[in-house]
Amino acid sequence: LVSRELKPEDTVIDVSGVAVGNGHLMMIAGPCAIESEEQALSTARLVRKAGARMFRGGAFKPRTSPYDFQGLGEEGLRILAKVREETGMPVVTEAIDHEVFELVEAYADVIQIGARNMQNFSLLRRAGKASKPILLKRGIAATIEEWLMAAEYIMEGGNPRVILCERGVRTFAHHSRNTLDLSAIPVVRKESHLPVIVDPSHAAGRRDQVIPLSRAAVAVGCHGLMVEVHRAPEQALSDGAQSLYPEQYEDLFRQIEPIFNVY
C-alpha cells in the first residue's frame, strides 16, 4: 500500500484543511513539550507570524529518564486545542501508548508516532484505526524498509493518511545527537507515494545545526519541515538546546524560500 509501484502519483494528505505533500512546503513548528498555556500560545503566535502552518507540541513525552518532565498530559492537549482555536493552526502531538491514544485522537489534528514506537506494532495497528492522519517518525535505528513497513501496518489497518518523518538515526558520530539521513528522502520518494517531511531538530540535538540541515532537507526534496521553536529555549523543560529562538525561525524561513522556489 505504501509503494509507488501501486500508486504512481504523490499522495496529498488533508490535515484539517491544510494540505501536506502538494508541492508546497509544510512548515510545522512549536516547542518540544507543552509547558503552559502562556508558553504554548506565545510560541504559536510567533511561529505563525514567521510562516508556520501547523503547530507541534508534546503533551505526553517519551523521555529517556523517568525523572525528566513527562508532559502535562490531558491539560497539554487542552492547551493545544486552545492554540488551534486562537491561531487556526492544526496541531500535531504524540500518542506515546495505547492508554492515551484515544484521548490524543480526540484533540489532535495529526497523531504523532514517535521514533521509539516506530515498531510498536500494536500501536501501529491502533493508528490504522484512527480517524486522524498519522505522522510516523523513523525509528532511531530503522532501515528505510522497516520504516515503510511500519507505514504499511497503519495503511493496512485502514488509515491511508500517513506522513513520514525523517528525524535522524543513531550512528557513531557525536558532533550531533543523531545523524540526519538526507539520502533517505530521495529513496523514500522513489519507493513510496507518501509525503515525507524532515525534523532537523531531533536529528541535530543542537540549534546551530538546525538551519543548515533545514536548507539541505528542502534542497533534497522533502515535503515539509518540523522544527522545534521555543519562545525562551533556555527555560525549556525539554530539548532546549535544539530549540530555535523565534527570530531564528524567521531567519530559517528567509533562507529556505529561495531554495524551495527553485523547484
Q: What is d(CA 88, CA 82) in angstroms, rounded to the nearest whole number?
A: 10
Does the protein bind ligand PEP through residue 53 (CB under 6 A)?
Answer: no
- 21 versus 114: smaller Cβ distance to Mn ion: 114
Grid coordinates given for 146:
522497516
* Chosen residue from 111, 115, 124, 194 binding ligand PEP by CB under 6 A: 115
Q: Is 230 in the site for ligand PEP (CB under 6 A)?
A: no
Name which position in 72, 109, 239, 244 contacts Mn ion (CB under 5 A): 239
Instruction: Out of 48, 53, 126, 137, point to the residue binding ligand PEP (CB under 6 A).
Output: 137
Contact of residue 35 among Mn ion, ligand PEP, none (CB under 5-8 Å per partner type): none
210-216 CB contacts, 8 Å cutoff, 24+ apart: 210/242, 210/244, 210/248, 210/252, 211/244, 211/248, 211/251, 211/252, 211/255, 213/180, 214/252, 214/255, 214/256, 215/255, 215/256, 215/259, 216/180, 216/182
Report the residue number, 130 or 198, with the smaller CB distance to ligand PEP: 198
The interface partner of residue 137, options being ligand PEP, Mn ion, none and the CB cut-off 5 to 8 Å by kind, is: ligand PEP
Q: Where are the beta strands (DSSP E) in the chain?
A: 13-15, 18-20, 26-30, 54-56, 91-94, 110-113, 134-137, 162-166, 196-198, 224-228
- By CB under 6 A, the residues from 89 to 108 that bind ligand PEP are 94
Count residues near ligand PEP (CB under 6 A): 10
Contact partner, 24, from Mn ion, ligand PEP, none, Cβ < 5-8 Å per class:
none
Determine phi and psi for 178, rounding to 5 degrees. -135, 175
Residue 5 CA, distance from chain mean position: 26
Binding of ligand PEP at residue 48 (CB under 6 A)?
Answer: no
| Residue corresponding to grid cell 518523518 | 165
Cell reading at 235:
527555560
Instruction: Kindly state whether residue 223 participates in binding ligand PEP, applying the rule CB under 6 A.
Output: no
Please, which residues bridge with residue 197 across strands? 165, 224
* DSSP secondary structure letters along 52-66: -SEEE-BSS---SST
For ligand PEP, what does the binding mask look like between residues 168 and 207, x meaning CB under 6 A?
----------------------------------x-----
Residue nearest to Mn ion (CB): 32
- Which of ligand PEP, Mn ion, none does 181 bind, CB closer than 5 to 8 A by kind? none
Q: Which of 158/227 has CB closer to ligand PEP?
A: 227
User: Could you list the residues that contact ligand PEP (CB under 6 A)?
Assistant: 32, 58, 62, 94, 114-116, 137, 167, 202
The contact set with Mn ion (CB under 5 A) reads 32, 239
